[in-house]
Structure 1
Amino acid sequence: MHIPDNYLSPSTCVVFAAAMVPVWYYSIKKIKEELPADKVPFIGVGAAFSFLMMMFNLPIPGGTTAHAVGGTLIALLLGPYSACMAISVALLIQAVVFGDGGILSFGANCFNMAFVLPFTGFYAVQLIKKVVPSALGQKIAILLGSYAGINLAAFMAAVEFGIQPLLFTDSAGKALYCPYPLSVAIPAMLIAHLLVAGVAEAIFTLAIYEFILKVSPGIVYNNEKVKLNPIITLIIILIAASPLGLLASGTAWGEWGADEIAADGSLGKALGYIPDKIANGFSYSAVFPDYTVSGISDVFGYILSAVIGVALLIIIFKILGSRHEGHKTA
């Protein structure tokens, strides 16, 4: 679901970046108003869970991959506004440091995964809990809400892909950016997420939420003590297990490089050309491209990338939490 650069036109990217500005502004405002200063660093913990979940690539029939995101999980723990900022920062680090998702398409990726996903998941859970007000109902609500959130996000990404060949073509009628129309993009994205990624999102969300509620309910309930050791242990386990994401071969649908897209058969046959802007558009070299580290094996590179990503997220939100606490005291 990480849209690379040059798959969306610059104008499309600007529209979604502009749409996210008031969302980010209001999210920061709500966090300052509603979240206790001592809980702001826990946004970094939530962002770390999301970052790690996105590293676990899952095989999709047809040779592509997909992943969970964890947006509803963070929203349930800390609120949807915290989830929005947590995933936005995680996506920024993925794009800048690891080349996962585009720089220009950052706003669109945030719109899908940091806005649509957590808010849809969170409010779907609240609605279902009202309809089925029981312990079992809460579990069902979490499963269905998180499943709905990631699938609506995937649908939005598919629409963003699918409108490109309608709007932007060269004089010969060939697509300049993403070449897949809505009739191809929507089924491709939704099948992967309805059948695989959505199920993983639902299971991960329920399992981790129930675990945190059991070992450290203070993250959810203000009158309970926060116990970080079990959560840190779980993060370390996920980091150690992150190379499992390497087992799924193939590139996620819609994330092919210029060297791959000409041979893709999503249209029923090989595309046969490289869209001009994908071949000759904006280029950015990440520090650790695709979670690899020069000079070491892919497995250890993946683990090191996981450590770097998690550390950056926790440090960033720890600093922001300190600043927030300082403003509260002043």
Structure 2
Amino acid sequence: MHIPDGYLSLATCAIGYAIDIPLWIIGLRKIKSILNEKTLPLLASLTAFSFIVMMFNIPLPGGTSGHATGDALLSIVFGPWIAFICMSLVLFIQAVVFGDGGITTYGINTFAMGCIASFSSYWIFQLLKNSKLSKFAPFIAGWFSLVMASLFIGFILGIQPYLAHTSDGKPIYFPFGLEISIPAMIIPHMLVFGVAEGIFTQIAYEFIVKKEYLLNEKEITQ
């Protein structure tokens, strides 16, 4: 799901950073308010695990990749703003140190795997946790987070031929349109990576609940 450098127009990359900067400011303020001797070890552990699982990339058509993220669990336990900041840090290290994802495309990658995945999983979990599907809410939230992030990545890649092309219509950046990019991204994440994300989220959440590590709702949303 990491988009490399050279796949997006400079305007698209700039918009990604412009959107992320105010979100980073808000998120950093939120994360300061929940850090203490109880939350820091768990937050660090889940962030480190997200880093590890995201390093196992499986190539997908068009030059990007698919993988689980661990984002949904972070979001459910600590709230979407905290998850967004943690994922931003993970993606930054991966891009700078390991070349996994581009520097120019970092803003878009962060918005997809940090913001969209975090907030979508959090609100789906909140919607389902008191319903008849409450038992499976973590799984559904994990699955949904990856599907939504992959849909956004597929959309961003797919519009590039329309945004930047030569006078004869040849794409300058990503060469495939929406009819290819969206199915190529969303189908593997619906059928494989999303399921893996959901299973991990379900198992890990139940363990955390059992150990009583969860924050209360006031701590998450303050």
**Closer, same or farther in 2 for the Cα pair 1:221/1:15, shift >3 Å?**
closer
Identity %: 43
Could you tell me how far 1:59 is from its partner in structure 2? 7.8
Name the residue aligned to 1:208.
Answer: 204
Could you tell me how far 1:221 is from its partner in structure 2? 4.2
**Closer, same or farther in 2 for the Cα pair 1:92/1:204, shift >3 Å?**
same
Could you tell me how far 1:212 is from its partner in structure 2? 3.0
Q: Paired residue for 1:173, among 169, 173, 187?
A: 169
Aligned mates of 2:59, 2:109 — CA distance in 1: 21
1:2 partner amino acid: H
Name the residue aligned to 1:217.
Answer: 212
CA contact (8 A) 2:158 2:177 kept: yes
Structure exhibiting the larger radius of gyration computed from Cα positions: 1
Aligned mates of 2:58, 2:171 — CA distance in 1: 29
Q: Which structure 2 residue ranges, 5 or more long, are not aligned? A: 217-222
Aligned mates of 2:189, 2:19 — CA distance in 1: 24
Aligned mates of 1:91, 1:171 — CA distance in 2: 35
Name the residue aligned to 1:81.
Answer: 81
What is the RMSD of the two structures over their aligned residues, measured on CA atoms? 1.9
Corresponding residue SS for 2:130 = helix
Q: TM-score, normalised by structure 1?
A: 0.61
Aligned mates of 1:73, 1:95 — CA distance in 2: 22
Name the residue aligned to 1:155.
Answer: 151
Deviations 1:96-136 (A, max 9, x none): 0000000010000000000000110011011011322xxxx
Large movers: runs of 4+ above 4 Å: 58-61
Name the residue aligned to 1:193.
Answer: 189
1:21 partner amino acid: I
Aligned mates of 2:209, 2:128 — CA distance in 1: 19
CA contact (8 A) 2:78 2:215 kept: no
Name the residue aligned to 2:220.
Answer: none
1:208 partner amino acid: A
Matches within 5 A, 1:107-256: 107-132=107-132, 137-214=133-210, 216-218=211-213, 220-221=214-215
**Closer, same or farther in 2 for the Cα pair 1:58/1:172, shift >3 Å?**
closer
**Closer, same or farther in 2 for the Cα pair 1:210/1:60, shift >3 Å?**
farther
Q: Tell me the number of residue pairs that the alignment of Structure 1 and Structure 2 aligns.
A: 213
Q: TM-score, normalised by structure 2?
A: 0.89
Aligned mates of 1:80, 1:111 — CA distance in 2: 12
Name the residue aligned to 1:103.
Answer: 103
Could you tell me how far 1:58 is from its partner in structure 2? 5.1
Corresponding residue SS for 1:47 = helix
Name the residue aligned to 2:29.
Answer: 29
1:148 partner amino acid: F
**Closer, same or farther in 2 for the Cα pair 1:97/1:36, shift >3 Å?**
closer
1:142 partner amino acid: P
**Closer, same or farther in 2 for the Cα pair 1:124/1:217, shift >3 Å?**
same
2:80 partner amino acid: P
Aligned mates of 2:57, 2:169 — CA distance in 1: 35
